[in-house]
Structure 1
Amino acid sequence: MIKAHFQVDADGKFNTIELTGHADSGEYGHDIVCAAVSAVVATCINALTSVAHVKPYEEADNEQGGFIRVTKIGPDHDSQIICQTLLDGLMSIQQQYGQYLEVKMFN
């Protein structure tokens, strides 16, 4: 199961996004949940840089896979909208494939 955790500050602004685990919804290369989650997360990170013009700090385990943490997300409007869009996208995936993806928010 992929666990997506969003941490917000006291004002409700996103400051950390962390994803861990594997969906295991299909064979390697044919896992549609993994592909969907990977696509929306990569799009979010790229948009933070190209649209919001911020460079968040990103940690990933490229050797083992199944881990990414994004911090230093800008408090600006564009960065927050991009993160909200990621949350919305992951929630949509969770609606259909909840046995493979868990999305939670923390403050």
Structure 2
Amino acid sequence: MIHVTVFRKDKQITAFELSGHADSGPYGYDLVCAGVSAVSIGAVNAVMELCDTNLEIEQGADGGYLHVTLPKGLPLEQLEKVQLLFDGMLISLKSIELEYSQFIKIVNK
């Protein structure tokens, strides 16, 4: 199962972590894994490119782990853009969770 943990402070996303594997299909044909990967990596790339924000990123060697932390002290306008993109990511991940809840679980901390 893929576990998504969203870390918040004052309702703002400060970090998120994805761990585990969906195992919803054979290697290379796991649609849940592919969807979660595309959504999360796409959001990270969008934040870095569109918001000119350097994120702290940790990845596991086997592809089953991603931890992303926002830098502290972002200007308000930049922070709002980052939040909007990460909120969009969460909406997409929740859509996947709604359809495939046996393979992905999202929690907020």
TM-score normalised by structure 1 residue count: 0.93
Which residue identity does 1:6 align to in structure 2? V
| 3-state SS in 2 of match to 1:81 | helix
> What is the match of residue 70 of structure 1?
68
- What are the residue-to-residue correspondences of 1:84-103 with 2, within 5 Å? 84-103=87-106
Task: Give me the identity figure in percent.
Answer: 34
> What is the match of residue 49 of structure 1?
48
> What is the match of residue 6 of structure 2?
6
| 3-state SS in 1 of match to 2:46 | helix
Q: Displaced runs of 4+ in structure 1, greater than 3 A?
A: none
Residue 65 of structure 1 and its aligned partner are, at CA, apart by 2.1
TM-superposition CA deviations, 1:42-80 (whole Å, max 9, x none): 11100111111101100001x222100000255611000
Give distance in 2, aligned partners of 1:95 and 1:40: 15
Coordinate RMSD, CA, aligned: 1.1
Q: Which runs of 5+ in 2 are unaligned?
A: none
Give distance in 1, aligned partners of 2:18 and 2:56: 14
Which residue identity does 1:4 align to in structure 2? V
Q: Which runs of 5+ in 1 are unaligned?
A: none
Give distance in 2, aligned partners of 1:19 and 1:72: 15
| 3-state SS in 2 of match to 1:80 | helix
Give distance in 2, aligned partners of 1:8 and 1:53: 21
> What is the match of residue 82 of structure 1?
85
